[in-house]
Structure 1
Amino acid sequence: MSKRTVTRTDRRGDHPGTARPIRLLGDPVLRTECDPVRTFDASLARLIDDMFVTMYEQDGAGVAANQVGVPLRAFVYDCNDDRGRRHVGHVINPVLVTADGETLVEREGCLSVPGMNFATPRSAHAVVEGVDIKGKPVRVEGTGYFARCLQHECGHLDGHVYIDVLSGEARREAMRAIRRHP
């Protein structure tokens, strides 16, 4: 997910990974439902570190594993909620258990659809459950922009991109812009 225009200090954190190329719309890995993570080892920890580094280098708010070409159910995030609180973390094998509240239509972008953003409807509240890189249960709850991020990243892992939730004129605008984009 592309981040909103927000100035942040030291977003990189302590992630010793290596940036990986972001897969772009049209790459089949983005349209394939990801497999559950079954092995919790050093390669998974390396993937998570690489995803953080990739997200920070691309100035994103979240990255799903399939966006870096790995078809596993995992994502990382670093974004603020509607109260300005910063949330940083990862979820392995996430399940979007709640997406409710008011529907907010705001501009949203995606690192896999660079340079574009469209008015996208998302629920104002979301809850994701999964595990961390050690296999311990995690429950992440978000509101506002953070809820949008959680929904966006879970969508990637199901083989969707954010333009899939668009309808009407917003969808037509997106399709025209994507066809024109080199």
Structure 2
Amino acid sequence: MAVLPIRITGDPVLHSPAAPVTAFDDDFQQLVADMFETVALAPGVGLAAPQVGVGKRVFVYAWTDEDGTAWRGVAANPTLWISPAVPESQQELDEDDESEGCLSIPGERFPLRRAASAILRAQDEHGTEFELEAHGWLARIFQHEYDHLDGVLYADRLTHPHAKQVAKAIRKRSWGGPGQQWLPGRDHPEG
């Protein structure tokens, strides 16, 4: 296994829709193993292939909930159904419960309204189809990673004033262009 460099916002692969996974071969198995190694070292709870420079529709997730249940898996060629989210105009964002970060915008966290539940249909690392119903933080992880496969970063979904704050943070760090990346375990991208 190898730790992969994580692309920072502005890299074209992060802002383009990813292509379907067509081969569940040894190269794909290695990519999945490397993605798990990378997300663990980052540390993070999910990682999409575009974040490591691979424009394929696959993400991994690894998170332990408050009850101690470990959620770990691979979602290739996913589809995602989400419950309606409460509009921000009807309920204020909760800075603690709704704040989210991204390994491609390291060191920043902002509140973002997401759906409370989701149904994920995908293929695992061997191509076997599965369906998983998620609630709460796991549903948020799925929505965040699924967005990456469509070329959308969470910062793209932020509303004022948070959209303005993240744009300022990106400018301050001179991010926003191609080729910028960081390596978990070696680099400190937020500083």
* Match among 26, 43, 61 for residue 10 of structure 2: 26
For the residues of structure 2 that align with 1:142 and 1:82, how far apart are their CA atoms?
Answer: 14
Cα pair 2:85 2:114 within 8 Å, conserved: no
Match of 1:46 among 30, 39, 47: 30
* Superposed structure 1 runs of 4+ greater than 6 Å apart: none
Instruction: Compare CA radii of gyration and give the structure with the larger one.
Output: 2
Unpaired segments ≥5 residues, structure 1: 1-16
Please state how far the C-alpha of 1:140 moved relative to its aligned partner: 2.1
127 and 80 in structure 1: CA distance in 2 versus 1, 3 angstrom threshold: farther
Task: Find the aligned partners of 1:83 and 1:153 in 2 and give their Cα distance.
Answer: 23
CA distance in 1, matches of 2:143, 2:83: 8
2:135 is the counterpart of 1:151: no
**Cα distance between partner residues in 1 of 2:4 and 2:51:** 9
How many residue pairs align between the two structures?
166
TM (norm. structure 1) is 0.85
Give the residue type in structure 2 aligned to 1:66.
P
CA distance in 2, matches of 1:84, 1:122: 23
The whole-number CA distance in structure 2 between the counterparts of 1:148 and 1:33 is: 20
Residues 1:77 and 2:75 aligned together: no
Amino acid at match of 2:23: T
Give the 5 Å matches for 1:12-161: 17-81=1-65, 85-100=69-84, 102=86, 105=94, 106-161=98-153
1:37 is paired with a residue whose SS is: coil
Q: Which has the higher contact order (CA 8 A, sep 6+)?
A: 2
Q: TM-score under structure 2 normalisation?
A: 0.81
Q: Does the 8 A contact of 2:3 with 2:38 survive in 1?
A: yes
Residues 99 and 79 (structure 1), Cα distance of their counterparts in 2 relative to 1, 3 Å cut: farther
Contact 1:65 1:75 (C-alpha < 8 Å) held by counterparts: yes
- Cα distance per residue 1:38-84 (max 9 Å; x no partner): 11111111110000000011011000001111100000001144655
Using the alignment, how far apart are the partners of 2:78 and 2:133 within structure 1?
12
Q: Tell me, in whole angstroms, the C-alpha distance in 2 between the residues paired with 1:83 and 1:167.
A: 32
2:99–2:112 Cα contact (<8 Å) kept: yes
State the alpha-carbon separation in 2 of the partners of residues 162 and 95 from structure 1: 18
Which amino acid counterpart does residue 113 of structure 1 have in structure 2? I
Distance 1:52 1:23 in 2: 16
CA distance in 2, matches of 1:59, 1:99: 28
State the AA in 1 paired with 2:40: Y
Q: Secondary structure in 2 aligned to 1:154?
A: helix
Report the Cα distance in structure 2 between the residues aligned to 1:76 and 1:112, rounded to whole angstroms: 15
Match of 1:177 in 2: 169
Matched residues in 2 for 1:19 and 1:100: separation?
Answer: 36
Amino acid at match of 1:78: A
Distance 2:131 2:148 in 1: 19
Task: Give 3-state SS (helix, strand or coil) of 1:168's partner.
Answer: coil
What RMSD, in angstroms, separates the aligned Cα atoms of the two structures? 1.7
CA shift for structure 1 position 135: 1.4
